């Protein structure tokens, strides 16, 4: 086995570890998001739910213009009721 093969094997192993780490992170994000949604639903005040939801969106989106665009489009679709139509693709 030459040096290039060893490096290629090391890179391949590192990519597999990163993919595994990403899946663990994604599972944790999903778990925490589910918990946050459940906590939001338990708030009795509509104003508090609205404010908390907007704070979460702002925190997640941050300065990422792509996420801002996606969040804006999603909220528009929801407000116009397009998300209820199975045939609609945004």
How confident is the model over 39-84, as pLDDT tens digits?
888 989 989 988 988 888 888 889 999 999 988 888 888 788 777 7
Confidence at residue 65, expressed as pLDDT on a 0 to 100 scale: 92
Most confident of the ranges 2-11, 20-29, 31-40: 31-40
Query: 37 is in which domain, residue-wise?
Result: 1-42
**Binning pLDDT at 50, 70 and 90, where does residue 4 land?**
low
User: Do residues 24 and 49 both lie within one domain?
Assistant: no
User: Do residues 34 and 61 both lie within one domain?
Assistant: no
Q: Give the mean model confidence (pLDDT) for residues 26-38.
A: 87
* Full-model pTM: 0.57
Q: Which two tokens stand for residue 54?
A: 């907007």
Residues ≥6 apart with Cβ < 8 Å to 71: 57, 60, 61
User: Do residues 32 and 69 both lie within one domain?
Assistant: no
């Amino acid at each position: 086995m030459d040096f290039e093969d060893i490096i290629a094997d090391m890179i391949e192993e590192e990519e597999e570890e990163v993919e595994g780490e990403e899946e663990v992170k994604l599972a944790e994000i999903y778990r925490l998001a589910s918990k946050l949604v459940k906590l939001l639903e338990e708030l009795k005040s509509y104003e508090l739910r609205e404010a908390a939801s907007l704070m979460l969106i702002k925190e997640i989106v941050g300065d990422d213009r792509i996420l801002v665009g996606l969040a804006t489009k999603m909220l528009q679709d929801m407000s116009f009721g397009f998300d209820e139509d199975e045939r609609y693709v945004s």
